[in-house]
Chain A
Amino acid sequence: MNEFLEHGLNQNRRKFLSKLSLGIGGLALGSLMVPGIFDASNEEDLFANVLPHFAPKAKRVIYLFQNGAPSQLDLYDYKPMLQKMHGEELPASIRNGQRLTGMTAGQAKFPLAGTKFNFAQHGANGGWFSESIPHIASMSDELCIIRSMYTEAINHDPALTFFQTGAQVGNRPSMGSWVSYGLGSENKNLPAFCVLLSTGKGNGQGVYSKLWNNGFLDSIHQGVQFSSGEEPVKYLTDPAFIDRGDKRKILDEIASLNQEAYNNIGDPEIVTKIQQYELAYRMQMAVPEITSLQNEPESIVKMYGPECLAPGTYAANCLLARKLSENGVRFVQLYHQGWDSHGNLPAEIVGQCKDVDRPSAALIKDLKQRGLLDETLVIWGGEFGRTNYCQGALSKDNYGRDHHPRAFTIWMAGGGVKPGVYGETDDFGYNINSLPVHVHDFHATVMHLMGIDHEKFTFKHQGRRFRLTDVAGKVVNEIIS
């Protein structure tokens, strides 16, 4: 028995150490704060010492998630054929057996709907863009446009969960949590993984805290919700009747009393607690300094659009994303709702683009002009695409589109991706003709850009070694510069 217990004891000793440093780090904001948080010697944290596996192309990621699935056919994937055949039935040979959502399953006919927007080619790589996104189009030479994305889920929740966690169901860690776990935070005063939320005018689908959940990883890798408002982080602001000096006094009292308790009881957790209160105090100074947008020069405000000063808008979140990113946050995840246009798509998508076009482009310009784009990977895309046939009533210039997992478009910029257009769909924009990219491949590629071999990057949980890419995924080398 002895050697067995001895073994157990050693493990505990290790856990104990890690627990301490983890305590110092703390939930979510954990990676934040104290240097050496990732130096603990327990299995989970070993990666900090071996990652990145190789030279990373991207140090940070900004993921502009377009929640609800924007229509690739009305933004990036130009299909004159659809306009020619507007109103005609989708050939069964094209659809061959693709499953339908309950919404169109009942539909007797599947009339093709050509986009009502004018398209034009922009930039050297000749990417096509709809007139509704002029600013993004103007950045064409920076963009790596993947027209051949496909996924497995056909409903929002599973599809979104799949994109964020690599699995359609269950409590798996989010992409950002994986990165936080693997690489930690650059700036010890900010979490490695931040989440920014905004809602557009279009048909919303909601987001779920599950999407930035740490799953079985330690809770310090959970995404932390940030905003540019008065309270950038929950419970950060002091009550009106307590000023800084006052707060300092209170903290000193607490510290000295806790210290006394430690002298009597001797539990190291108490020391950790004392540190937590110090860190909290430091945070109260550091975070607002970074999240306040007031001091941005006017030309920047114009670049992102004046909405960027109104807390909670997509524009504000893009600007905040840049500030967080340049301050060393590894993974900034935006969600912008409102792309789920089952009906009245032309009107809704214009509204969405009004919110999204200018700031998205501004973010790239801004990073570029600061010399940060080459080390920051920007991703823009939804959880799946939309059908080439109409959902509901089709008129000359009004139509809706249902969910379409089989082929859709996302783009990336900076962070070591090669600008250009990758992959191609058929004339109906329904199936992928060449170079398909699965969600797992997408994950594998992003990990690769960050210097991580997705197959070696695992976490042992309930006896199984999990990875973001589950058991699949191959790096798309062609889009890496």
Chain B
Amino acid sequence: MDIKKVNQWGEWFVWFLNPLLLLLAIYSEASQSNNVLLWFGKMHPLVLHFPIVLGIAIVIYFLFFQNKPLEENTEKLVLVGNAFMASMVALLGLFLSKQDAYDTDILNLHKWGGLSIALISWLLIYIKNISTSFKKLIALCYLLALLFFTHQGALLTHGENALSIPTPEVKVAEDVKIIDSSLTVYEKAIAPILAQKCVSCHGPEKVKGQLQLQSPEFIIKGGKNGNILNGIQNEEAMLLQRIHLPNSDEKHMPPDGKLQLTLEELTLLNKWVKAGGNFTKKISELAKTDSLAILAMAYKAPTKGSGENKNNAPDLKQYNSSYLTVNYLFNGSNDIEVNFFQGSFYKTEQLKNLEKIKDNIVSLNMQGMPITKEDLAIIVQFTRLKKLNLNYTNLQITDLQVLKNISGLTNLSICGIEVNQSSLKTLLEKAPFTEVHVWTNHSSEKEFQQLSASNKKVKIIIGDNLDAEIIKLTSPIIDQDSSIIAGSLDVVIKHFLKGTVVRYTTDGTDPDSLSSPIYTKKLRFTKNTILKTKAFKPGWISSDMVQKTFYKSAIHPDTIYFATNPDKKYAGIGAKTLIDYELGEKNFSNGKWLAYKDATMKFVIGFKQTRPLQTAYFNAFIDNGSYIFPIVSIMIEGSNDGKEFKKLNEAKFPSLKETDVVRENKSFSCSIPAGASYKYYRFTLLNIKKLPTWHPGKGTPGWIFVDELFLN
């Protein structure tokens, strides 16, 4: 393509870029940073070298080769190219400057410098026709500008000592993994603080106020106002004065805009100086309770940039999952504890992943994990492990020998792993363990005690084992809430202990361990039944018997209503309470009971057509402690118009004796002579009208509580 065209385009660009550059530079404070631009900015260091080289070349060309100039277009191409690149670089530089990680003064210098370079190189294109000497002058300035300002850039990126002779690093205990109290307070805390927040300006590079803080000598020497550690008379030491000034004050250190001291750091410096600013005192030499010692111990130098992440130990988020938690023991600690949960989700990879942090893991819980030898092989690499839980892992005790290689492993739990005296003995030989948790069958418990007696340095905690003890079984559970058989009713009997034999009877006799039927599948009842059941198991005392009565209720009346109202507090859901197929419990105020005291219980049931009845059962509650006595008598009358009733039958029941202490449900029944068939039946249930003399409520009427009526 024609070189002229290129130049023309190039010039257009240059003429566009430079004004733009100017504006951006002027308003850069206002303008916002933006990731895309930043990204472009990152290319600044890449491209900047071209214009520098080219620029120098041009200078040389202007200085020494004026006598034999290049062909016009070529020369122009070079100049335009240079101008273009220079402005490009400057532009990218501006973008980059938005990532405010730089010392502002240097930055500004470099910014305007770079800009001027761009402008001069722009100018250079058009100085063709001016006097050679003037040209040379400009060229010279250009060179100087080039060298000086670009070096500023170097300072920014490569740091203060970019081109200066390296000085020995300040000894800083910045990333001590284990907190080491043998360090001096200065090494552990003070030096890091100064190094991170002060030395940039009070160091080998910038020596502002003639003060350097990179090492004790300099610190003791002080600055232009002399000593900084002890204040004149009762005045505060200069160092403290400055850091305690409000940020707004221009004398405040570190200056506004620079990374500030945290409260922790302030206090540390404050206490250290007040304590005489000693450089040699070890933390261990201070009293444990000395706040300076405590702070110094706890202090972790912030990692560059962020003041957030207090210690430079790894972030553990990535290691955690739904079935694995990895945490530091506490905030600020580097020691890590690891817990695995729910064996069914365990994968060896999860353990492998931890290798990156293996040196921080001090406690590992693998209880119930299906782990194998190769998992153990990984675990053995966790060299700082102190506590290890392998309960109920399907390992063999012989597999565990390798664990002895973990020198610090003192606490080991292997409950559920099959052990005997000898195998445990071998495991304990030359082992670092001081506390071992094991389990054993009852027989060898003694031997283990001897073993632990003989082996003083390790404490063996033996699982409390009760094979031998003989205790009573719990009763079976009759799993059927309803006790009413409408048609038929299925009943399930449960026992939670495996290997238990459940026997039952339905003939009223008590179940025994030999003859009574064994419960296998659910029972189906179709008539009134008393179910009694009991649990048996070798090595156990057989359980107490439980029983439950099931009532047949073949007939459901179409209507039911009170002739006399029950007591207000125990009115249930009205007359329907008696036929709602719901029995009340021992808590008789739960609204499932009907109760009568002063009035006599009278109610009527009705059918659409006349209907014969055989028997009526009432479920009643007796609790003489609560003045609730048995029903005295039940009278049944029949009628077809619901007005004229004819007595059919009456049943009487015994009352309580002084010795009785009753609190139970009881069934009362009254039969109806065959042949009788009516639309309406009236029931009259008599309660005791005068409590016996032996009862605290003697003379007053007793209660009756009834919750259900069953008809056959």
Q: Mark A residues whose CB is within 8 Å of B.
A: 33-36, 39, 49-56, 186-189, 282, 285-286, 289-290, 293-294, 298-299, 301-303, 305-307, 309-310, 326-328, 365-366, 368-372, 451
Contact = CB atoms under 8 A, between A and B. Distances in A.
B411 interface: yes
A294 B412 CA distance: 27
A56 B344 CA distance: 30
Contact of A309 (B317, B413, B474): B474
Contacts of A290: 342
B292 to A, nearest CB: 18
B496 A189 contact: no
B496 A294 contact: yes
Interface in B372-426: 387, 389, 391, 411-413, 415
B331 to A, nearest CB: 5
Given A49-B331, A369-B463, A294 B317 contact: no
Given A294-B498, A303-B466, A369-B462, A289 B344 contact: yes
A90 to B, nearest CB: 28
Nearest to B471: A302
B561 interface: no
Contacts of B540: 306
Contacts, number: 113
A33 B462 CA distance: 35
Contacts of A189: 322-323, 341-342
A54 B45 CA distance: 46
B330 A306 contact: no
A451 B437 contact: no
Given A36-B320, A56-B330, A306 B465 contact: no
B331 A50 contact: yes
Give the 6 A-B residue pairs with the shortest CB-CB distance, closest first: A309-B496, A371-B413, A302-B466, A371-B437, A369-B463, A52-B330
Contacts of B323: 187-189
Contacts of A56: 329-330
Given A53-B330, A309-B496, 13 more contacts: A39-B317, A53-B331, A187-B323, A189-B342, A293-B496, A298-B467, A299-B464, A310-B474, A328-B325, A366-B464, A371-B389, A371-B391, A371-B415
B296 to A, nearest CB: 16
A305 B471 contact: yes
B101 interface: no
B330 A187 contact: no
22 contacts: A33-B322, A35-B322, A51-B330, A52-B329, A52-B331, A54-B331, A186-B339, A187-B323, A187-B341, A188-B325, A289-B342, A298-B497, A302-B469, A302-B471, A305-B471, A327-B341, A328-B339, A369-B461, A370-B391, A371-B389, A371-B437, A371-B461
Contact of A35 (B320, B330, B387, B413): B320
B448 interface: no
A116 B477 CA distance: 35
Contacts of B473: 306
A303 B344 contact: no
Nearest to A188: B322
Given A35-B322, A186-B325, A369 B341 contact: no
Contacts of A187: 323, 325, 339, 341-342
Contact of A310 (B342, B471, B496, B498): B496
Nearest to A295: B498
Contacts of B387: 371
B499 to A, nearest CB: 8
Contact of B331 (A51, A294, A299, A368): A51
Most B C-beta atoms less than 10 A away, residue of A51, A282, A369: A369
Contacts of A50: 331
